[in-house]
Amino acid sequence: MQDTAMLDAVERYIRGEMLPEEKAFFEHLRETRPEVDQLVVEHTLFLQQLNKYGEVHQLRTQLKDIHLQLTENGQIEPARPTIVVTLWKKYRRVIGVAASIAGITALCISGLISYLSPKVSTAKMVELSRRLDAQENKLNKVVSNQLPQQGQTRPVAPIDFKSGGTGFLIDGKGYLITNAHVVNHATIVDVQNSQGEYKARILHVDPTTDLALLKIEDSSFHAASQLPYGISKGKAKLGEDLFTMGYPRNDIVYSKGYVSARTGFRGDTLAYQITLVAYPGNSGTPVFDKDGEVVGIVNGAAPDAQMAVFAIRSKNIYKVIDDMKADSAFLKTDSDFVRLHVPAVSQLKGQDRIEQQIPKIEDCIFIVKSNQ
């Protein structure tokens, strides 16, 4: 074939395989016939590319081979990091981004929640027990030194009473109610009013209602047959007039106010909020309505508002007593307790506050002094 022969000639010419005469003839042919010349140029280029392809292809094969061989011989690191490491390396940025997004989202959500939720003061309610100062202690020592110390069960040395509150009788036989936080941790408790100072025993402390029940156990204490006031089992009405008598000082202090909210600190349904003046030492103070019925027991004040005082609802007293009466182990320690009678009705209804109510109530209210 003509074409086959021609291409063969071109290839031999490119490779320089031609004999001199043949070459001279071919070059002459190239000069005279442009299509031959074009074929030579084109074919040269093509062969070059084919050649390059061949070389690179060979190199690639060789490299793959070398890689295998070197890996087998251990001359290059076979470096196979563990899957965890590889995954970590591959995804650490993704993980980082995801974690930051999660973190930011969490922060935003908690921020939103705290922004949108009603503002609640994180401060605690202020308890109104008081610290007894040195002056008062001295006074107490004098008093206790003067008192005849008969049938002593207590060390002769005068006791340092460190804190105090107020308590009030719920039974003429000497049962008193005060706040749990007034006598909490105390081992020795005394009660005192204008009639004298008496030793008392803690019968029960209920931290849930913040109420404590004490009993005066002192030979010099004369039991009263009937209390002038009653302990209300009902609810006080919003706006109802109230008054308190307590011992923020060593003298009894009278105060007057009204029910300002149906619930106590942070919506506490066991208590009321009342508005009147109260001081440290007023903890345990009974809150009376206009008929002289105890409707509550002062136990604290709002930390950030003036005159916002909280009082435990009086019906909690009944609850505490019922709990104690159900406790047979406790009943063995106090034989009188079964006969405890809490008056529900006040004798002071319709009486004049200054002339009758206050003087009658006064004797039933005591300073409660605790050694802790």
Partner 1 sequence: MRTETNEQKLLEGLAKNDRKSIETIYRQHYNMVQSLILNNSGYPDDARDIFQEAIIVLYEKVKSGSFELNCQLKTYLYSVCRRLWLKRLSQLQRLSSDVENLEESVPVEEDLELHEQRNLDFMVMEQSLDNLGEPCKSLIRAYYIEKKSMVEIAADFGYTNSDNAKNQKYKCLMRLKKIFSQYKK
Residues that bind partner 1 (CB under 8 A): 1, 3-4, 7-8, 46-47, 49-60, 62-64, 66-67, 69-70, 75-81, 86, 89-90, 93-94, 97
* Separation of first and last alpha carbons in the chain: 126
User: CB 263 → partner 1: shortest distance, Å?
Assistant: 56
Assess whether 181 carries a catalytic annotation.
yes
User: CB 99 → partner 1: shortest distance, Å?
Assistant: 14
Residue with token string 């600190």: 265
- % helix, strand, coil for the chain, step of 5: 40, 25, 35
Q: Which of 96/350 has CB closer to partner 1?
A: 96
Residue with token string 């040395």: 157
Catalytic annotation, pick one of 171, 190, 210, 218? 210
User: CB 101 → partner 1: shortest distance, Å?
Assistant: 14
Q: Which of 56/142 has CB closer to partner 1?
A: 56
Residue with token string 């109610």: 177
* Cβ atoms of residues 144 and 218 within 8 Å: no
Catalytic annotation, pick one of 283, 314, 346, 370? 283
**Residues 247, 249: Cα–Cα separation, whole Å:** 5
Would the CA dihedral through 72, 73, 77, 80 be positive or negative?
positive
**Residues 14, 33: Cα–Cα separation, whole Å:** 17
Q: Which of 45/108 has CB closer to partner 1?
A: 45
DSSP notation for 335-361: TTGGG-----S-S-TT--IIIIIHHHH
Local structure of 37: helix, strand or coil: helix
User: CB 67 → partner 1: shortest distance, Å?
Assistant: 6
State phi, psi for 270 to the nearest 5 degrees: -85, -5
Q: Which of 8/241 has CB closer to partner 1?
A: 8
**Residues 76, 68: Cα–Cα separation, whole Å:** 10
Residues 6+ away with beta carbon under 8 Å from 51: none
Q: Which of 73/135 has CB closer to partner 1?
A: 73
User: CB 104 → partner 1: shortest distance, Å?
Assistant: 18
* Cβ atoms of residues 168 and 364 within 8 Å: yes
Q: Which of 70/345 has CB closer to partner 1?
A: 70
Assess whether 283 carries a catalytic annotation.
yes
User: CB 303 → partner 1: shortest distance, Å?
Assistant: 52
Active site (catalytic) residues = 181, 210, 283
